[in-house]
Structures are given as structure tokens and as C-alpha cells.
Structure 1
Amino acid sequence: MTDSSVPDATVSGKPHYEVLDGLRGSAAVLVVLFHIMGMTVSWADSGQLLHHAALAVDFFFGLSGFVVAYAYDDRWKTMSTGQFFATRLVRLHPLVLLGAVLGLLSFTLDPFATNQKAIPMATVLVDFALACLVLPHPSLPNRWTDSHSLNSPAWSLMQEYIGNIFYALVLRRLNTWLLSLVMLIAAGFLIHMVWHSNTMDQGSDWTTIWGAPTRMGFSFTMGLWLYRIRNAFPKIRLGWVVLTGVLVAIFAVPRVPDAIAHGNGLYEAFAAIVLFPLIILLGAHSEIGKLEMALCKVAGRISYPVYILHFPFLFIYMNFINFRKPPLTTAYMAGAGAFVIVMVFAWLALKLYDEPVRKMLRPLTGRKA
């Protein structure tokens, strides 16, 4: 039994940044709430309380860059590129596969959207095969224009893989000044995107697919850079609870009215470029007590399964709303039920599937089982 008052260890035996793990869990839960609220009101902004929670993806990318640099920057003399890729695949891909299976079941067995059953099974199975490889596939009915139609959040996992590839082949070799230059160029592309689209919520669908590498390119590189210069900043310690409140506040700011030209996009870019790096630094420098440590451990462990597995359940909820058109009170009750189901299933998937499978596959990474 692990001691909840002691930080977990990374693959190389280093203690986790537990507050950052906890914040990843906080952001994952906020994403689920954002999607449930959006589906309930057909994505009308007036019914959404977390107007900017789509930015959680950018926060995830930044956290990933920081944690990858922490876990691997000093290991390259004893670790091959192949071992790095194997380690990352073992960490990420079991849940990608489970998410694809859930997406297939959600699409084919959905009791509310009967038009989905009219799609040839061969087409669905081709999409499923691509989903297992975390590759984009043609959009299916009742899935908007999503590039990963069976399990929408997988679009960001594809970007995570791309970021890891660039880290292993290029970015880790750059000195801090060159990495800074890459980050600034990526920030320029990001600002150009939001200047024209007035939103950071780009990249998950075929119409805005080039927004995906634009978002990842800045935030992941920023996370790598931030780890290298982390000690150059004052060590202000706020802790997980306070920083979660800050995240909620950033997401809950009302959408900037369209009358203020470019205002919404610039606010969201400011959050990604300025506020999220500050939160990551504050989280990395935080020291917390035993209770908060235990909560951060749970939140961190459940964050990835919550994020990557929630959409197949919410697709069914969405189709219930769209096809049955229940009263708003019923919709809210169903949304609350969907939230509980997602949380319980994510924990069960972690304990009964993800952790045992990763333990079994660990020898493939060059580590002992």
C-alpha cells in the first residue's frame, strides 16, 4: 500500500509534482462539466458557465511539456529514442484503445440516435481501426465535423504524440535560447490564429484541424522551456485548492462580446501564453499538506481516464437531448447522472484495466516489471 502523504514517483524514480497532477485532474473534471453544459443547451453560450474551458487542452499540453522535460531531460545518456517512444506508448495508448472501443460501442448501440445504425458496418470498422491508431477519420452522423469521430478527445492525444516525437528528435537537443526562439515563433502562429478566428477552440474538427498543431506547438514547447527556467522565478506557493480556483475563474470569465474586435481570441491567447505558465510555475513550487497531497494523487491518477474516456458516454447523453428533447429539468438530471457514470467508470478503468496493462507492458520499455 502506498503512503498518500509521499509523492508518487515518475518512471525514472523522481517524485511527482503532485500539485501539477492535481491540477490536471481539476482541468479534466472541468472539461467534462463544460461538455455536459454545452450539450444540454446546444452549445449556446448563455447556458454555459465555463465559457473558456476548451482552453483546458492548452493547459494539458503545457503540463505535458513540463512533466516530460522533468522526467526525461536528464535520461538521454542512458535511454534510447526507442525506449522513450515505448515508454510513452505504454503510458498513453492502453486508454486510447479503450476509448476507441467505447466509441465504437457508443456509436453502434446508442438507443436514441437510430440513424447511426444505417451507416455500413464496414465504414464504422475502418473508422474504429483508425481510432485505435489515434488517427483522424471521416466524421460520422451526430458527431459534428470531428476529426476523431468515435472519441473526440483523441484529437489532442494525436497532438500529444506529435509533440513527444518532436521532443525526442529535435526539441530536447536545443539549448534554452533556441528553445525560447521556437516557443516565440509558435506563440506568433497562435496569436495569428486567434486574431482571425477570435477563439482558441480550434483543431478538434476537420474545418479547423490546423489549429491543433498550432495550439500544441506553443503550449508543449512552453512547458519544456518552463521546466528549464523554473528556478529563475520566485517560489510562490499557493497549493492545489487555490490554483484550481484560479483555473475555474479563468474558464468562467464570460465570453468577450463580438463587438470588441478580436477580444475573445486575445483573452484566450493571454490565458494560454501568460496565465497558464504562471499557474504551472506556482504549482511546481507549491508545498502541500497530507490531505491535499492525497487529493492531488487521486485527481492526478484519474485525470487521463476521465479526459480520454468521457466522450463516448456523453455522445449518448447528447443524442438523448437532441432526439428525445426532454424538459430542461430532466436534461439536467440526466447530465448529472452522466457525470457520475463518467467518474465511476474512469476510476474502474484506471484500477482494473490501465494500471494492470501498463504493469504488464512495462518490460517493453526496458524497465523491470
Structure 2
Amino acid sequence: MIAKSEMQDSGHFSDLDGVRGLLAFTVMLFHYGLNTILARTIGIGPPVWDSCVDFFFVLSGFVICKSISGRAVSVRHFSAKRILRLFPLHIAVLILFSPVLFDGEEGAIDLILNISAIAPLVLQKMENFPAWSMGFEFYLPIIFVALFSRRGLSTPVVAGVTAILFVIATAASYEMLARNTLFFGPFLDFARAIAGLGLGFMAWKIYERGVFVGFPRWNGPIFILIILSFFGLVMGSVRFPLLGFFLPLLLLAAMFFGSRSHTFFSSWLFQWAGRLSFGVYMVHIPVLLVFTRVVGPVTLDGSIIFKGAMIVVSVVVALALHILIERPAMRIGRDGFLGIIAQRKYFQD
């Protein structure tokens, strides 16, 4: 294990990206019946796999803050890049699966709220319900960039904001895993998104100060232990909801150790899953709705063949959207139209 992998030097945390892929596929399997399998085999269920989304929030905040650190950032430019990162695939999924996502009774306002991903911010549902997190992942980072992108944030400010966000995240994690409305009620998703993305931002602010040094030879094993602990916490919280209080600590530890490790999560399989993670996350419910409509819920529920087919279809659709929609849009966000045209002219010459 090494203190700082080559992937990190290039701005890409390979282990963290690999785990993101693992968790996206876990969410898909959860919605396709993983809880039923766990209940039948080991008598545990149903775990709250929504915690995977909290990992996504913290990781997004961490990576976004890294990407803007140390340079002047235009909120308008940042917003444009985020639009190209998130919305092309989101809109493509809405169009491609519109027959099963919309029943024809939605009004113009409903369509606008869904297309713009504002719906969860005004406590309305997204027709493709996993996309609820996307709304927060677009709008909240813009606010955070405006507030926290300056290099001059003092250490007391970073420590104070981190402490506040940690308390919010801890309360939100417990409420989510305990399935109650003790703290935030209908605003639980707000609390999870704000605390998660904010903690990710502050984690990078701490990271770049060199406060966390890490253990070069042990970063990898510790990171693997953290991920195993995360899965153990999710399954164990069914009987012991108080475990939710440890979730924010695990997520922060994952950022610090995972950003400095290079384990099997950096292998091609997990990196491939990481590249498809957003697509798999966004398409798996529409695919489930298509299969439910075609074969019926009763037949689908008892068929391993059909559920295996759903997994294959979800991956294939996510791969196609990644190649045709997601990757080109990300390239435009990185290089711009003029940059891409210039590159093509260069290669033609």
C-alpha cells in the first residue's frame, strides 16, 4: 500500500470511485430483491441501504471541493459544468422511460419540477425516485462553492462548520436507520444532503491542511475495514438503530483513508462499475417498472431469471447512456465545444 497513489496525483481517487460503483450496484440489488435474499438466508432484513446515498453525498462534496481548491472559481462556470455532468443523463432517462415513469396525468409544473430536479427541494416526488438525490447534488454544491470555495477559510471556521454538520449528520443517520421522525421529519432528506455534501467539503478542507497524515502501509487495509464496517452497520442497524450514530464517522474516515489507498477497489472491474455508477443508479428503477409492466409483479417477484435479466438490462442501458450521453457531455464540460473542435482539427492535420 502506498501513501499517495498515482490515481490520486491525477485528481482521481480510484479506491473511492471503485466503492462508489460497488454501492450503486448494491442499491440496484436492494431494489431488485437483495433484502428478501438476506431475510431468507441469514434472517436479517430489511436493512436500510439508503445509507449508500449518504456515502455518495460525502464523496461528491469531497471531490467537488478538491476540484475547486486553490483557484478562483466562477459560480456560473461551475454550474454549467454540473449541468453537463448530471442533467443530460437524467433527461435522457426521463425521455427513454417516459411511458413507465409518467401516466399522462402530470401537469406542466410536475414536468418542470422533474426535469429541473427541483421536486425534492419543494418536498415533491421525482417520478424516477432515485433521482431525488440528484436535485440536491446539483443545487447544494453551487451554494457551497459560493460560500466555501475561498482558500482563506480559517481553521476555527472549518472546525466549527465541520462540528455542526457532523451533529446534523449523526442525528439524520439515526433517524433514517431507526425509521422514525424524531429530528427532521419531512425534511430528513434535506438534512442528509446538506450534512453529507457539507461534510465532504469540510473533509477536503481538513485534508489539504495536512492535518490527517494517514498510515502509508496501512491505508489500504484500514479502508477495506471501513467499507466492511459500513456494510455491517447497515445490516446491524436493523436491530440496533443506535449504530446510525457511527455512520458519519465511517464516511469521513472513508474519505481520508480511501483517498490515500490503492487496493482491489482500484482494479478494472470496480473502476468500470464506478464509471457506470450514476447510470446504473438512474436507470435501475425504470427498468424494474418496465419488467413489472411486461411480466407482472407476481411473476417477476418469484423469478430469478427475470431478475437476472433486469440486472443485465440495467447495466447495458447504463453503458449505452454512458457512451452516448454521459461521457460526451462530461468532455464538453471539461474541454468546451471550441476545445473539442480544436482537438479534432489537430488530429485531422
Structure 2: runs of 5+ lacking an equivalent: 342-349
Q: What are the equivalent positions in structure 2 for 1:95-134 lying under 5 Å apart?
A: 95-108=89-102, 116=103, 119-120=104-105, 123=106, 126-134=109-117
Describe how 1:221-232 pairs up with structure 2 within 5 A: 221-230=198-207, 231=210, 232=212
**What is the one-letter code of the residue matched to 1:342?**
S
For residue 344 of structure 2, what is the aligned residue in structure 1? none
Aligned to 2:47: 51
Say if 2:59 is the partner of 1:63.
Answer: yes
- 2:219 partner letter: R
Q: What amino acid maps onto 1:188 in structure 2?
A: V
Structure 1: distance between partners of 2:36 and 2:301: 8
User: Secondary structure in 1 aligned to 2:178?
Assistant: coil
- The match for 1:234 is 214
Deviations 1:35-75 (A, max 9, x none): 1127979x99x987671311011100110111111111112
CA contact (8 A) 1:24 1:303 kept: yes
1:30-41 → structure 2 map (5 Å cutoff) = 30-37=26-33
Are 2:263 and 1:267 aligned?
A: no
Q: Does the CA-based 8 Å contact 1:66-1:224 persist in structure 2?
A: yes
8 Å contact from structure 1 (residues 94, 357) kept in 2: yes
Equivalent-residue separation in structure 2 for 1:88 and 1:327 (angstroms): 37
Amino acid at match of 2:274: G
Q: CA deviation at 1:211?
A: 1.1
| Alignment check: 8 A CA contact 1:97 1:132 kept | yes
1:286 lines up with 2:269 in the alignment: no
The residue aligned with 1:260 is none
What residue number does 2:86 align with? 92
Q: Is the 8 A contact 1:362 1:368 kept in 2?
A: no
* Structure 1, gaps ≥5 residues long: 109-115, 138-145, 257-262
Match of 1:185 in 2: 164
Match of 1:305 in 2: 279
In the alignment, the residues of structure 1 paired with residue 243 and residue 101 of structure 2 have an alpha-carbon distance, to the nearest angstrom, of 36
- Partners of 1:51 and 1:277 in 2: CA distance: 21
Are positions 1:336 and 2:336 aligned together? no
| Alignment check: 8 A CA contact 1:40 1:335 kept | no
Whether 2:9 is the aligned partner of 1:20: answer no
Change (3 A) 1:340 1:277: same
- TM-score, normalization by structure 1: 0.74
Give the C-alpha shift of residue 267 in structure 1: 1.7
Is the Cα–Cα contact under 8 Å of residues 20 and 274 in structure 2 kept in the other structure? yes
What does the per-residue CA deviation read over 1:96-138, in whole Å, with 9 as the maximum and x for residues that have no partner? Answer: 2123224423235xxxxxxx4xx53xx266433322111218x
Question: Do the aligned residues in 2 keep the contact of 1:148 with 1:154 (CA within 8 Å)?
Answer: no
CA contact (8 A) 1:186 1:214 kept: no
Identify if the C-alpha distance between structure 1 residues 285 and 315 changes in structure 2 by more than 3 Å, giving closer, same or farther: same
In structure 2, what is the Cα distance between the partners aligned to 1:56 and 1:197? 12
Q: Contact (CA 8 Å) 2:17, 2:271: kept in 1 or not?
A: yes
In 1, the alpha carbon distance for the partners of 2:101 and 2:291 equals 12
Report the 3-state secondary structure (helix = DSSP H, G, I; strand = E; otherwise coil) of the residue aligned with 1:238. helix
Q: In structure 1, what is the equivalent of residue 298 of structure 2? A: 325
Matches of 2:192 and 2:328 in 1, distance apart? Answer: 33
Change (3 A) 1:269 1:157: farther
The alpha-carbon deviation at position 84 of structure 1 amounts to 1.4
Aligned partner of 2:282: which letter?
I
- Aligned partners of 1:184 and 1:244: how far apart in 2? 23
SS of corresponding position for 1:189: helix
Whichever residue aligns with residue 128 of structure 1, its letter is L
